[in-house]
Amino acid sequence: MLVASFYRFTALEDPASLVEPLERCCAMHDVRGIVLLAPEGINATIAGTREDVMTVVDHLRADPRLADLTLKEAEADRPPFRKMRVRLKREIVTMGVEGIDPAHLTGTYVDPGDWNALISDPDVIVIDTRNDYEVAIGSFQNAVDPGIESFGELPDWLDARIDMARQPRVAMFCTGGIRCEKSTALLKQRGVREVYHLEGGILKYLEQVPEEESLWTGECFVFDERVAVGHGLELGDATLCRACRDPLRASDRRSPRYVEGVSCHRCHDRTTDAQKARFAERKRQVDLAHARGRSHLAETPAPADLGEAGPEAVTPPTRSSPCGGTTTSR
């Protein structure tokens, strides 16, 4: 089964018009996952057979605004999503800062093959833009961990920790590239001239850079049932706490506070006895389903977290969609 992740910052003046045709296309081809649409672009992870996934991608690419979508591909042994969600959002990745325009102003892309040299430069500040629970299971050597619980906390951290007036050299990275791309747009808006971000994110680096040359340590958390991947995008050792959804390393699972399906060292003290009892019952139901050779819905977590027309206006040209109907060019 193919798992395809992609995003693009591009002006979508009418994201709502894309929802129904996309939902219909995905339903026709049994493609599941999550797609976020916003005025600033698209952010998605979808899964299915290769033929079906590529049909959905071709449907999206028929819109000229999305014609150059670039995919990050991985294989999964079982469906990583239980249904398809297409959601309208204010942002495809929530930062909460007005006036950011990554479609027109971002930092400099750095190819994975050139990344090691950049982050090994002692004059470069290397920042992991991901959430704390992601950083906990892996990151680049010597990267700064902001310790944030959500991406929306990063702007305040950058304002407090980065002296924009000194014109620092900053390199930023994230899982697939979208958060660090938007982060570089923020720093560029703030006036920082030398800002870099890892093209394709950690996933592309792990796919392309040989392990013996890598400066990555640990595993990379992904927002689906695979939980984490390592070099070569091989399935990692991390599992998911079914109570709080945080990834757990082998050492985390040895904690006395870890009870499979019920609690881990991070959430044990944040849940009530009644909640733990409910989680334990859910775990029992999952085990019963396994014993009967069936799957259970509780096994698959929901994905985390993503001008006026004048009188001269004419109907934009349309293109044929591989799922039937047309898409509008704007």
Domain segments of the chain as ranges: 2-92, 108-217, 238-299
Mean pLDDT of 15-43: 97
> Identity (one letter) of the amino acid at 223?
F
Percent of the chain past pLDDT 90, that is, above it, reads: 77
Q: Is the pLDDT of residue 252 over 70?
A: yes
User: Residues 139, 140, 144, 149: what is their CA dihedral angle, to the nearest 10 degrees?
Assistant: -20
Instruction: Write b or e for each residue in 2-19: b if 16 or more Cβ atoms lie within 10 A of its Cβ, otherwise e.
Output: bbbbbbbbbebeebeebe
For residue 102, the number of C-alpha atoms closer than 13 Å in the C-beta half-sphere is 28
Q: What is the pTM of this model?
A: 0.80
- Give the least confident one: 191-200, 218-227, 277-286, 319-328: 319-328
User: Residues, the chain, total?
Assistant: 330
The domain 2-92: what is its CATH number?
A: 3.30.70.100
The helix (run of H) or strand (run of E) holding residue 310 is none
* Residues 248 and 231 sit within 8 Å (Cβ to Cβ): no
pLDDT (0 to 100) of residue 286: 87
Q: Hey, which CATH number is domain 108-217, 1.10.8.60, 2.40.50.430, 3.40.250.10, 3.40.50.720?
A: 3.40.250.10
Mean pLDDT of 256-285: 94
323 annotated active-site: no
pLDDT (0 to 100) of residue 314: 24
- DSSP for 120-176, written as a single string: T-TTEEEEE-S-HHHHTTEEETT-B----SSGGGHHHHHHHH--GGG--EEEEE-SS
pLDDT single digits (tens) 173-214: 999 999 999 999 999 999 999 999 999 999 999 999 999 999
Per the DSSP assignment, residues forming a β-bridge with 35 are 44, 86
Among left, alpha and beta (phi > 0; psi -120 to 50; other), residue 231 is beta
Mean pLDDT of 43-58: 96
pLDDT single digits (tens) 294-314: 765 555 443 333 322 222 222
Q: What share of the chain is helix, strand, coil (3-state, %, to 5)?
A: 35, 20, 45
Kindly indicate the confidence band of residue 291, based on its pLDDT and cuts at 50, 70 and 90.
Answer: confident
Same fold, 2-92 and 108-217: no
Alpha-carbon span 61 to 311, nearest angstrom:
29
* Residue 277, phi then psi, degrees to nearest 5: -65, -40
pLDDT (0 to 100) of residue 232: 92
pLDDT (0 to 100) of residue 297: 54
For residue 45, the number of C-alpha atoms closer than 13 Å in the C-beta half-sphere is 24
pLDDT (0 to 100) of residue 18: 97
- Mean pLDDT across the chain, nearest whole number? 88
From the list 25, 174, 241, 267, the catalytic residue is: 174
Instruction: Tell me whether residue 100 is exposed, middle or buried, using C-beta atoms within 10 angstroms of its C-beta: 0 to 12, 13 to 18, 19 or more.
Output: buried
Alpha-carbon span 307 to 309, nearest angstrom:
6
